[in-house]
Chains A and B, each alone.
Chain A
Amino acid sequence: MPTNTATVSPNEDVIPVAERHGMDPVLKRRIEAVVKHAILLIVGFAMIFPLLWMVSSSLKDDADIFRNISLIPTDWDWANYKEGWNAQSYPFGKYLLNSLIITIGAIVGNMISCSMAAYGFTRLKWRGQGIAFGYMLMTLMMPIYVMIIPQYIMWSKLGFLNTFVPLILPKFLATEPFFVFLMVQFFRGIPKSLDEAAKVDGAGPFRIYWQILMPNALPSLATCGIFSFIWTWNDFFSQLLYLTKPQNLTVAVALRNFADATSGTSWGPLFAMSTLSLVPVFIVFLFGQRYLIEGSVTSGLK
């Protein structure tokens, strides 16, 4: 800390930037920086503390969880993971696999169907296009609770309760307006001259879609895929509705059942499986942060 500079009178001729602030610049800037970083670090630490604490608690025995608030477990104990993994009617790996299947289905479905719809909205002309686009924008704001009950009745009458069909099939029907909108925005940024050139060479709409638009839209496809992953992996509501049999539970539903069954008795194994359930999202965050931020910004700025 440059406390000695406090005694040096400000010399505004030497450091012209200072004129704007009218104060001893070096000291002021340093103090500001220190205070700023201190605040940013404290806020940041407070925010991730619960997460770190959960991870560390997953490695403590139950007595230690409450006695020892420190983030470092007294002795690293993987027993919670073993216990949590086998605590329910199927090993936890079964639920992870179920979640993974649904998530991959949703990713593939969203990427294909939403990019097709975006192509139709941005590159082709057809009757009713304006109304359809307006409707799509409206569904961005439509609460799912006005659709979910008839949807549930439909799937139940068709005999698809306790299958993955109600969770995957709708994603192949471009029913996530967020992704359609995201790709529409992206496609609009791809120069039409590329299409025109391909058209001159005799390419039809399908080749233009597949060979011009899709390769150029890879970043938006990645964004769509990453958001699909996180939303589907975290989804609880529809999985809770459609999946009730032990063999097809997902991580979210299994975890909830586990929490209700052990309520307040064995936090260790519960935290172990909770931690495990967040690992895939964390990995996607680590590698896909750029796309996540781009996606949020595209949809949030305009």
Chain B
Amino acid sequence: MSVFKRAPIAVRREERAAHIFMLPWFLGVIFITLGPMIVSIGLSLTKYRLVGKPRFIGLDNYVKMFSDARLMQSLKVTFLYVIVGVPLALALALLLAVVLNKGVRGLSFYRSVYYLPSLFAGSVAIGVLWRQVFGAEGIVNTIAGWFGIDSMGHSWVGDPKTAIWTLILLHVWTFGSSMIIFLAGLRQVPQELYEASALDGANKWQQFCHVTVPVLTPIIFFNLVMGIINSFQNFAQAFVVSGGTGGPTDSTLVYALYVYQQAFGSTRNMGYAAALGWLLVLIVGVLTGLNFLFSKKWVHYAD
């Protein structure tokens, strides 16, 4: 098609229609996504506290990161949260999807029950609930008491050693959203593969390892990548559970919460927070890249 040089009227008309249809999106690119991204690169090279003018300081914000102890703590917490939480949720999702896939009676009931928490989990209400459930007088301690474990008065969210684990558990609680994706994926596994492997004398566990998992690897991979990207950005639950502090002693200071504190806390370090935003892009980008690199070893694409 010759779009250049005397484009036919129909083509030009289509181009004009496209501009109208894409207008909201273009405005979004300019004012909400790409524009701000570019501005934030510039901002990351300045000292800016919302009042007055940004002052150019070169790479100081990036240099400062290396000696920022709270940032290191925040990275430690976030990596623990992501590296334990995401695979654990995916494993549970896969396991239950496989169990549910084999024509279980009441499938839709179970699916709903497992899926529901993932819709609620992002809400403040659940953060509030978690604060009580894992609090000093929470039901976790009550239930532990039945089993002879006396932890009454010990607050799981108040103890720096355990607080982040309550958030990891909250993430695992949302496995239902991945589970329904796996369930849909399982329906695409060709039945012949199971029949063939059964003829070869494979038991169920072997079938799971050598048929189900390999066929699902592209879906597992996609969910792993998106799970990591999204978990790095989780904010609400850490904020609510810790009352906005990331405490006790910064043990729940997830990355997003630290960015929030820098940008919108009392210091209003907009420039530094912008730099932190780009560090997050770097981290997520590198992890996604590594994921793709390793995926060649374990992800099987059908064609």
Q: Which residues of A contact B (CB under 8 A)?
A: 20, 33, 36-37, 39-40, 43-44, 47-48, 50-51, 53-54, 66, 69, 112-113, 116-117, 119-120, 124-127, 129, 132, 135-136, 139, 141-154, 156, 170, 172-175, 180, 204-206, 209, 230-231, 233-237, 240-241, 251-253, 255-256, 259-260, 263-264, 267, 270-271, 274-275, 277-278, 281-282, 285, 289, 292-293, 296-297, 300-302
- Taking a contact as CB atoms closer than 8 A, the residue among B139, B244, B277 that contacts A143 in the complex is B277
Return chain A residues, CB-CB under 8 Å to B71: none
B82-133 interface with A by 8 A CB criterion: 96, 99-100, 104-106, 110-117, 119-120, 122-125, 127-133
Q: Are B21 and A120 in contact (CB under 8 A)?
A: yes
Return chain B residues, CB-CB under 8 Å to A264: 135
Return chain A residues, CB-CB under 8 Å to B18: 120, 124-126, 129
Question: How many interface residues does chain B have, given as a range?
Answer: 35 or more
Per the bound structure, the CA–CA distance linking A151 and B32 in Å amounts to: 7
Contact flag A116-B22 (CB < 8 Å), given A124-B14, A255-B128, A259-B240: yes
Contact flag A255-B116 (CB < 8 Å), given A146-B281, A149-B40, A150-B43: no
Q: Are A39 and B99 in contact (CB under 8 A)?
A: yes
Task: Name 6 A/B residue pairs within 8 A (Cβ), A-sorted.
Answer: A126-B14, A174-B24, A234-B122, A241-B264, A251-B124, A259-B127
Q: Are B24 and A154 in contact (CB under 8 A)?
A: no
Per the bound structure, the CA–CA distance linking A231 and B177 in Å amounts to: 14
Return chain A residues, CB-CB under 8 Å to B59: none
B-side interface mostly: helix
Return chain A residues, CB-CB under 8 Å to B274: 146, 149-150
- Taking a contact as CB atoms closer than 8 A, the residue among B123, B128, B177, B236 that contacts A281 in the complex is B123
Q: Is B193 an interface residue (CB 8 A)?
A: no
Per the bound structure, the CA–CA distance linking A62 and B133 in Å amounts to: 14
Q: Are A292 and B119 in contact (CB under 8 A)?
A: yes
Contacts A43-B114, A51-B116, A148-B263 supplied; 6 other A-B pairs, CB < 8 Å: A124-B14, A142-B33, A145-B276, A153-B50, A256-B240, A259-B128
Q: CB-nearest residue of chain A relative to B27? A: A173
Q: Is B232 an interface residue (CB 8 A)?
A: yes
- Taking a contact as CB atoms closer than 8 A, the residue among B104, B125, B235, B263 that contacts A40 in the complex is B104
- Taking a contact as CB atoms closer than 8 A, the residue among B112, B185, B273 that contacts A301 in the complex is B185
Q: Are A274 and B180 in contact (CB under 8 A)?
A: no
Most A CB contacts (10 A, CB to CB) among B31, B125, B185 go to B125
